[in-house]
């Protein structure tokens, strides 16, 4: 099992949620977060300068079986990308075990 942590633009969240459901990734958690990015330059919109040092994003945590890993990452990369600075990051780590509290199932059964 793998844990995928993705930081994406808030504007891409609804589209990504729909795409994840289409590939049968139906359970994940998400939070609104603020982060600091690499870009130091502000943006000007309608004559008003906006700082980009503090960036509003959505943080997703998804636990999938190994066979869903590549499909899930590919979906995030395709849907969340705008081609601009600040599209986000994806981190993947191993999950040693998972349990479903209600049924006490573990392993693969614990995440499906």
Q: What is the pLDDT of residues 53-107, one digit of tens each?
A: 667 899 999 999 999 999 999 999 999 999 988 889 999 999 999 999 999 999 9
Q: What is the pLDDT of residue 50?
A: 62
Asked if the model's pLDDT at residue 41 lies above 70, the reply is: no
The pTM of this model reads 0.84
d(CA 112, CA 63): 10
- When pLDDT is averaged across residues 33-53 and rounded to a whole number, the result is 68
- For residue 106, the 8-state DSSP code is B
Distances (CA, A) of 9 to 14, 87, 94: 10, 6, 25
For the chain, give the mean pLDDT.
89
Q: What is the pLDDT of residue 108?
A: 86
d(CA 84, CA 104): 44
Is residue 62 a contact partner of residue 3, using CB atoms and an 8 Å limit?
yes
């Amino acid at each position: 099992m793998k844990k995928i942590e993705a930081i994406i633009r808030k504007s891409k969240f609804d589209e990504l949620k729909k795409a994840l459901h289409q590939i049968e990734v139906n359970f994940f958690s998400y939070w609104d977060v603020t982060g600091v990015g690499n870009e130091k330059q502000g943006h000007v919109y309608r004559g008003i300068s906006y700082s980009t040092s503090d960036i509003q994003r959505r943080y997703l945590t998804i636990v999938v079986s190994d066979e869903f890993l590549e499909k899930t990452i590919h979906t995030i990369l395709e849907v969340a990308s705008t081609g601009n600075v600040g599209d986000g990051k994806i981190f993947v780590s191993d999950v040693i075990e998972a349990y479903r509290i209600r049924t006490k199932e573990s392993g693969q059964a614990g995440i499906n």
